[in-house]
Chains A and B, each alone.
Chain A
């Protein structure tokens, strides 16, 4: 790629201080990589290697203790590692998405309203937002009779579909995926891959952690192993779900 990267991670380090144990927990140290628009980066590593932690550090749920995350936002370049909370709030609303494996379902809110909410927050009219919400619920295989039901009562798989529909309904510039395929059935997985490749084609940069990277093999451009910190340009063709 010849363009300047969308995201430039330099020497990112995260340590948790645990005061009541009077100890520190090193999650990862000195991680660096670049990410361009339309690229898909896979994070690999053992359990506890810090894959999820890295995603959350970029998302700023976790505060890094060192390094930089230079991000070329629509408002100008900013170091996510040091940005003010309001800026992070703004970018989360407008540009950066984060998909976890859990839906934080609020009680007494219908599935279609949960999915439509990002659109409503972006200022899209109720009717259109609901139309789009139903479209994506349909795409991810949520049955129409559940659209008006409360997801807090759904099974884990159904909840995850609602979660994905909500997270992916609004196109972002940078998408952080934390094991989104866990507990999904094959149909929904396919829908997810379709949506992701669609987003990728539109220039969305994606960083993902997958339990079974094979699910999204076709999309992966590069990968980084957090144990070795080696950035590889292709997917290593080893057994996908081997416990590293």
Chain B
């Protein structure tokens, strides 16, 4: 007996116990950049409250996939649905640019590896968080300030520095500002693109710890992209392994690390430590 381990097969064929329905479903996502096929028929499913890790080497398509989730890019083919309360959006790739912007601002948070992508470096840290709330229509200065403070606090950012500009802050602190910005509107989905790459090990542990805590206390659904298996192992409930734009294996995190099924995953796991 051999098991078909593609995500689609697991989705389709596994006997289902749960009433839980996926928060995120992506089907048949393909994307080419010229001759490079960045994604080939990728399927992804993320359930509410879980941390989905995506691993793979550089160029495997994991960041491209994450950018699709943030609606920054549109695939050549494919279908993307998010199950959000009181909304029926259909395939999100069919939305207009404006609808995408508003949906992302309200329901999706993202933390980039490079804080310059996610932050206004010359505005205050609290202002960076407040901008999200301003887009969502909050118009009271006191409420903006209180909510920015709360989000920064939840990201374990030192509040006495809440008005410092990100450009004056260390890398770890900048990531916390990005995180506060991402969670300020309590998004349905938090996307993390190599959030701790480039931080030194001790700072990395602290940021991961903050993420863990947030995930536990707020039950935020997260998709975490990293090439660092240690990071994925600490954080993820389930793991997708990508290579050459395809998902080669998907499973529970401990299963992927302890009993990898695909030759590439075995190679990857054994390369660690």
Q: Are any A and B Cβ atoms less than 8 Å apart in their complex?
A: yes
- A interface with B by C-beta (< 8 Å): 16-20, 56, 60-63, 65-66, 73, 75-76, 78-79, 82-91, 106-109, 117, 120-121
Residues of A within 8 A of B266 (CB): 18-20
Assuming the contacts A65-B3, A89-B50, asked whether A84 and B16 have C-beta atoms less than 8 A apart, the reply is yes
Closest to B202 in A: A107
CB pair A89–B238 under 8 Å, yes or no, is yes
CB pair A89–B252 under 8 Å, yes or no, is yes
Residues of A within 8 A of B1 (CB): 65-66
Closest to B217 in A: A120
CB pair B18–A108 under 8 Å, yes or no, is no
Residues of A within 8 A of B11 (CB): 84
CB pair A56–B258 under 8 Å, yes or no, is yes
Closest to B208 in A: A106
Q: Does B212 contact A (CB under 8 A)?
A: yes
- Kindly supply a per-residue 1/0 record for chain B positions 1-34, scoring 1 wherever the CB is within 8 Å of any chain A CB and 0 otherwise: 1110100001101111110100000000000000
Q: Smallest distance from the beta carbon of B256 to chain A beta carbons, Å?
A: 10
CB pair B20–A109 under 8 Å, yes or no, is no
Assuming the contacts A20-B267, A82-B14, A83-B15, asked whether A61 and B259 have C-beta atoms less than 8 A apart, the reply is yes
Of the candidates A61, A66, A108, the one whose C-beta lies within 8 Å of that of B254 is A61
Q: Does B91 contact A (CB under 8 A)?
A: no
Of the candidates B5, B250, B252, B261, the one whose C-beta lies within 8 Å of that of A60 is B252
CB pair A106–B212 under 8 Å, yes or no, is yes
Q: List CB contacts (< 8 Å) of B230-272 with chain A.
A: 234, 237-238, 250-252, 254-255, 258-259, 261, 263, 266-267, 270
Q: Does B205 contact A (CB under 8 A)?
A: yes
CB pair A108–B3 under 8 Å, yes or no, is no
Q: Smallest distance from the beta carbon of B87 to chain A beta carbons, Å?
A: 22
Q: How large is the interface on B (under 10, 10 to 19, 20 to 34, 35 or more residues)?
A: 35 or more
Assuming the contacts A20-B270, A62-B255, A88-B252, asked whether A79 and B15 have C-beta atoms less than 8 A apart, the reply is yes
**Can you offer 22 A-B residue contacts whose CB atoms are under 8 A?**
A17-B261, A18-B266, A19-B263, A19-B266, A20-B266, A61-B254, A61-B258, A62-B255, A63-B259, A65-B3, A66-B1, A75-B17, A83-B17, A84-B10, A84-B11, A84-B17, A85-B10, A85-B251, A89-B238, A89-B252, A107-B209, A108-B205
Assuming the contacts A19-B263, A63-B255, A106-B209, asked whether A121 and B15 have C-beta atoms less than 8 A apart, the reply is no
CB pair B14–A83 under 8 Å, yes or no, is yes
A149 to B253 Cα, complex, angstroms: 28
Q: Does B37 contact A (CB under 8 A)?
A: no
Closest to B270 in A: A20
A20-B270, A63-B5, A106-B234 known, 15 other contacts, Cβ within 8 Å: A17-B261, A18-B266, A56-B258, A61-B252, A63-B3, A63-B255, A73-B17, A78-B17, A82-B3, A82-B13, A84-B15, A86-B47, A107-B205, A107-B209, A108-B206
Q: Smallest distance from the beta carbon of A20 to chain B beta carbons, Å?
A: 7
CB pair B17–A90 under 8 Å, yes or no, is yes
Closest to B14 in A: A84
Q: Smallest distance from the beta carbon of A226 to chain B beta carbons, Å?
A: 18
Q: Smallest distance from the beta carbon of A58 to chain B beta carbons, Å?
A: 13
Q: Does B122 contact A (CB under 8 A)?
A: no
Of the candidates B3, B237, B255, B263, the one whose C-beta lies within 8 Å of that of A61 is B255
CB pair B252–A85 under 8 Å, yes or no, is yes
Q: List CB contacts (< 8 Å) of B31-63 with chain A.
A: 47, 50
Closest to B252 in A: A85
Residues of A within 8 A of B216 (CB): 117, 120-121
